[in-house]
């Protein structure tokens, strides 16, 4: 009987030990499931242009902010386009604050060309979360919130105040969102010292970080000439002159592309030019008049200019080679963002020892087990430009390693493991930034950063 009792006691003890060891794993799985669920909730809100459901997304984000005991407000610089601003006040609110910036809108999708509906936030058996915005950039906005959640659970107290901004309309230029926000009195009162914004996925194990971006010059070239019979060879006809310009632009484009193909420059370091429309011909009820040379012709070009380029030289090329008045040509810009600040310096964020925010960023990523590649110029435009134009340091960063670049593409997805790892990375960055005490260096000129 005594032996039997001992056996039963051992069995019960082993069972208790086994259950004790399994409990943390169960809790971890439950926490991970909740994190992914919140991400999916955000992704399921259809904020695609041109009719984003902004109010629904604002309600969701404010609810999340209040759940974390963050100060929250919804600001409308333009009616119907709320910018959600959350605040975690620091112990020394007089120090320059940290701005964690993201945008809530996404680009449209061709639903029929997706494996899963772009707003289903489908999690497949391989751990991939398919959704429009999974990379660009709802992942980052939620990673900010989850990192703050973890820091609060660890009773972390920030020295500097921390702001989380969720802005509208980035995908259509940011003019009613980030641009008005950066120019507002609200932003001035925030006393921002550094901005984090979006980056790009990386196909390899290194994270990508961006210290500048190419600015958009959207140009229209117009050519005019005498109309004439379709059989006659004219000098300086509208179409002939426009074709000469297109060929000149094509050769320039090829020379820039060759630098990328040869590995001499990255995509963000060259001037890119792409023709986006061609408008010419005389319409008829059945299409176009075939035996009439038109008196006007136009072509539109999307030009992206890196901060390292010489804008004056490019403008001379446009005026003298691409649209010379001597060939009855003219040009205009639908949009022409600056590449230099008011002091004439390139608009970029320094990535050396003169910028303490870069050192903190780099060290924090490494401390969390991440690897950074060489700093890059973002090949397209982001809302970071509105903050850099103010002289503020801004770093573009989306922690997505081992991930194909699928922003604006069909079947955009992010693996859940990369999403969860990104939260750890942001937790490390936020902790480093919010704890930073520079002993007076905040008084330095923003332009120096």
Q: Which helix (H) or strand (E) holds 396?
A: strand 394-397
Binning pLDDT at 50, 70 and 90, where does residue 18 land?
Answer: very low
- CATH 3.30.70.360 intervals, the chain: 215-305+309-336
Question: Which pair of structure tokens corresponds to residue 413?
Answer: 């997805």
198 is in an annotated binding site: yes
Chain-wide mean pLDDT for the chain? Answer: 92
- Report the pLDDT averaged over residues 307-329: 96
Q: Which band of pLDDT confidence, cut at 50, 70 and 90, is reported for residue 440?
A: low
β-partners of residue 106 are 48
The beta strands (E) that lie in 214-284 are given as 215-224, 228-229, 272-280, 283-284
List pLDDT tens digits, range 188-223. Answer: 999 999 999 999 999 999 999 999 999 999 999 999
pLDDT, position 442: 56
Q: At what angle do helices 54-67 and 138-153 cross, to 10 degrees?
A: 10
Q: How confident is the model at residue 235 (pLDDT cuts 50, 70, 90)?
A: confident
Strands 272-280 and 128-130: unpaired
pLDDT of residue 344: 87
CA–CA dist 212, 375 (Å, integer): 9
pLDDT tens-digit readout, 73-117: 999 999 999 999 999 999 999 999 999 999 999 999 999 999 999
pLDDT reading at 9 higher than 70: no
Burial of 336 (0-12, 13-18, 19+ CB in 10 A): middle
Q: What's the fold here for domain 215-305+309-336? A: Alpha-Beta Plaits (3.30.70)
Count Cβ neighbours within 10 Å for each residue of 187-224 and write b for 16 or more, e otherwise.
Answer: beebebbbbbbbbbbbeeeebbbbbbbbbbbbbbbbbb
Q: Is the pLDDT of residue 24 over 50?
A: no
Helix (H, G, I), strand (E, B) or coil at 61: helix
Helix axes 138-153, 2-44, angle to 10 degrees: 140
Catalytic residue numbers read: 105, 170
Closest Cα to residue 83, out of 145, 169, 141?
169
Q: Where are the beta strands (DSSP E) in 58-214?
A: 71-75, 83-88, 97-103, 122-123, 128-130, 162-167, 192-197, 209-213
Provide the 10 A C-beta neighbour count for residue 172.
14
In this structure, are residues 301 and 219 in contact, taking their beta carbons and an 8 Å threshold? yes
The pLDDT assigned to 438 comes to 82
pLDDT digits (tens, 9 = 90+) for 247-303: 999 999 999 999 999 999 999 999 999 999 999 999 999 999 999 999 999 999 999
Q: 33-212+346-448: CATH homologous superfamily?
A: Zn peptidases (3.40.630.10)
Q: What is the mean pLDDT of residues 355-377?
A: 97
- Counting residues of the chain whose pLDDT is more than 70, the rounded percentage is 92
pLDDT classification of 449: cutoffs 50, 70, 90: very low
Residue 19 has pLDDT above 50, yes or no: no
CA 245 to each of CA 279, 291, 317: distance values in angstroms, whole numbers, following the listed order: 14, 23, 11
- The answer to whether 331 touches 318, Cβ cutoff 8 Å, is yes
Q: What is the pLDDT of residues 240-253, one digit of tens each?
A: 999 999 999 999 99
Arithmetic mean of pLDDT, 119-141: 98
Percent of the chain with pLDDT over 90: 87
pLDDT band at 21 (very low <50, low <70, confident <90, very high): very low
Q: In what order do the strands lie in the sheet with 128-130?
A: 122-123, 128-130, 413-415
* Torsion region of 69: left, alpha or beta (phi above 0 gives left; psi -120 to 50 gives alpha): left
**Cα 194 from chain centroid (whole Å):** 16
Q: Residue 448's pLDDT band (boundaries 50, 70, 90)?
A: very low
Which segments of the chain belong to CATH 3.40.630.10?
33-212+346-448
Would you say residue 367 has pLDDT above 90? yes
> What is the pLDDT averaged over residues 20-40?
76
User: Confidence band (pLDDT; 50, 70, 90) for 365?
Assistant: very high
First to last CA, the chain: 80
pLDDT band for 439, please (50, 70, 90 cuts).
low
DSSP secondary structure of 221-238: EEEE---EETTS--SS-H
Question: Is 136 annotated as a binding-site member?
Answer: yes
SS3 state at 210: strand
Q: What is the pTM of this model?
A: 0.87
What is the C-alpha to C-alpha distance for residues 350 and 395, in angstroms, rounded to an integer? 10
pLDDT at 25 over 50: no
Closest by alpha carbon to 142, among 124, 121, 161, 157?
121
Q: Tell me the C-alpha distance between 301 and 420, whole Å.
A: 40
422: nearest Cα among 213, 167, 199, 211: 199
Nearest to 124 by CA among 132, 116, 113: 116
Give me the residues paired with residue 167 across strands. 103
Q: Within 10 Å of residue 234's Cβ, how many Cβ atoms?
A: 14
């Amino acid at each position: 009987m005594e032996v039997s009792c001992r056996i039963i006691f051992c069995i019960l003890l082993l069972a208790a030990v086994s259950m004790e060891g399994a409990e943390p794993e169960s809790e971890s799985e439950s926490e991970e499931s909740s994190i992914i669920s919140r991400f999916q909730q955000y992704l399921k809100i259809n904020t695609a242009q041109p009719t984003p459901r902004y109010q629904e997304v604002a309600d969701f984000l404010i609810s999340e902010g209040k759940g974390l005991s963050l100060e929250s407000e919804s600001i409308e610089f333009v009616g119907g386009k709320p910018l959600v601003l959350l605040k975690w006040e620091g112990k020394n609110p007089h120090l320059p604050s940290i701005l964690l910036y993201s945008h809530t809108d996404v680009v449209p999708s061709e639903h029929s060309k997706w494996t899963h509906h772009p707003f289903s936030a489908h999690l497949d058996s391989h751990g991939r979360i398919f959704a429009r915005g999974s990379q660009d950039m709802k992942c980052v906005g939620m990673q900010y919130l989850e990192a703050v959640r973890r820091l609060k659970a660890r009773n972390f107290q920030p020295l500097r105040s921390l702001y989380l901004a969720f802005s509208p309309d980035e995908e259509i230029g940011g003019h009613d969102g980030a641009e008005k926000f950066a120019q507002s009195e609200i932003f001035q009162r925030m006393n921002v010292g550094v901005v984090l914004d979006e980056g790009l996925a990386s196909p390899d194990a290194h994270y990508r970080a961006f210290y500048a971006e190419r600015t958009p010059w959207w140009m229209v070239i117009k050519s005019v000439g005498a109309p004439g019979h379709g059989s006659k060879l004219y000098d300086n006809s509208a179409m002939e002159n426009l074709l000469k310009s297109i060929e000149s632009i094509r050769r320039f484009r090829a020379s820039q592309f060759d630098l990328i193909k040869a590995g001499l420059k990255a995509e963000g370091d060259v001037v890119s030019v792409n023709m986006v429309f061609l408008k010419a011909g005389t319409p008829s009820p059945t299409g176009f008049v075939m035996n009439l040379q038109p008196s006007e012709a136009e072509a539109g070009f999307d030009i992206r200019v890196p901060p390292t380029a010489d804008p004056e030289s490019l403008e001379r090329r446009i005026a003298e080679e691409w649209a010379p008045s001597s060939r009855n040509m003219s040009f205009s810009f639908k949009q022409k963002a600056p590449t230099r600040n008011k002091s004439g310096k390139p608009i970029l964020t320094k990535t050396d020892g003169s910028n303490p925010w870069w050192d903190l960023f780099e060290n924090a990523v490494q401390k969390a087990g991440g690897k950074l590649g060489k700093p890059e110029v973002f090949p397209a435009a982001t809302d970071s430009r509105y903050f850099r134009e103010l002289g503020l340091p801004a770093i573009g960063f989306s922690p997505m390693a081992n991930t194909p670049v699928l922003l604006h593409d069909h079947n955009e997805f992010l693996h859940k493991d990369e999403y969860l790892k990104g939260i750890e990375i942001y937790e490390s960055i936020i902790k480093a930034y919010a704890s930073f005490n520079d002993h007076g260096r905040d008084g330095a000129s923003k332009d120096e950063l």
